[in-house]
Chains A and B, each alone.
Chain A
Amino acid sequence: DQQVKQNSPSLSVQEGRISILNCDYTNSMFDYFLWYKKYPAEGPTFLISISSIKDKNEDGRFTVFLNKSAKHLSLHIVPSQPGDSAVYFCAAEGGTSYGKLTFGQGTILTVHP
């Protein structure tokens, strides 16, 4: 069963606008969430994370929001830049999966100039 889901396989955004990537999870034991960015032929690169005791974490142009009651998190990129074009993976850990990550399927973000 897919414990972490990214229901949008792709997203296309104009440069300068906001990109919103969504992620849903089912396991209520997850208590730490991460976003990774991946370029072709490279490994995932850590982007930003959030603990379940928070509902928002911000780092420059990137903000992650967590809604625990809805088991939903989102990554906001403002303003979007062409260099942000990549695959974005949501990942979760916690409970019995302490120390290991459960990933979503990824969302391909394309930012058009």
Chain B
Amino acid sequence: GAGVSQSPRYKVAKRGQDVALRCDPISGHVSLFWYQQALGQGPEFLTYFQNEAQLDKSGLPSDRFFAERPEGSVSTLKIQRTQQEDSAVYLCASSLEYRTGNTIYFGEGSWLTVV
């Protein structure tokens, strides 16, 4: 597609439920990022993939968060046993190459509300 596509756009989960958020990056983009944006804050880095390799997962807040990109294109962010503090917008982004200065394009985000 023309841009980064994320699904679902909106998700309401009961506390303790597992959720999976999907990201389709721009075709041909090597780098894929997941960010978390809390209300009133800027996006915060969660994890980064170069093709299928997860090179940096330093931003994942706990071991309940897991991301994968098995074939180097589509990625899934999974949150197990969701808690209220997980409520946020989860943004996926991609860029053509892995180098400083490469424009990073964001999707519209998946809005997660944990009740």
Q: Which residues of A lie under 8 Å from residue B44 when comparing CB positions?
A: 103
User: Is the Cβ of A99 less than 8 Å from the Cβ of B107?
Assistant: no
User: Is the Cβ of B41 less than 8 Å from the Cβ of A105?
Assistant: yes
User: Is the Cβ of B41 less than 8 Å from the Cβ of A99?
Assistant: no
- Residue B18 interfacial (CB < 8 Å): no
The distance in angstroms between the C-alpha atoms of A82 and B42, with both chains bound, is: 23
Beyond A45-B106, A91-B42, A101-B35, 12 extra complex contacts between A and B, CB < 8 Å: A4-B42, A43-B91, A44-B106, A46-B104, A99-B48, A99-B56, A99-B98, A103-B42, A103-B44, A105-B42, A106-B41, A106-B42
Interface residues of B (CB under 8 A from A): 4, 31, 33, 35, 40-45, 48, 56, 59, 91, 93, 98-101, 103-109
Of A4, A44, A97, the most chain B CB neighbours within 10 A belong to A44
Which residues of A from 14 to 40 have beta carbons under 8 Å from B? Answer: 31-32, 34, 36
Q: Which residues of B lie under 8 Å from residue A34 when comparing CB positions?
A: 103-104
Q: Which residues of B lie under 8 Å from residue A49 when comparing CB positions?
A: 101, 103
User: Is the Cβ of B99 less than 8 Å from the Cβ of A99?
Assistant: yes
Of A46, A51, A91, A101, the most chain B CB neighbours within 10 A belong to A101
For residue A25, give the distance in angstroms from its CB to the closest CB of chain B: 13
Interface footprint category on A:
20 to 34
Q: Which residues of B lie under 8 Å from residue A41 when comparing CB positions?
A: 108
Question: 1/0 per position for A45-86, CB-CB distance to B under 8 A?
Answer: 110010100000000000000000000000000000000000
Q: Which residues of B lie under 8 Å from residue A46 when comparing CB positions?
A: 103-105
User: Is the Cβ of B31 less than 8 Å from the Cβ of A99?
Assistant: yes
The distance in angstroms between the C-alpha atoms of A31 and B56, with both chains bound, is: 20
* Sampled A-B contacts (23; CB under 8 Å): A4-B42, A32-B101, A34-B103, A34-B104, A36-B106, A41-B108, A43-B91, A46-B103, A97-B45, A98-B100, A99-B31, A99-B48, A99-B98, A99-B100, A100-B59, A101-B35, A101-B104, A102-B45, A103-B42, A104-B42, A105-B42, A106-B40, A106-B41
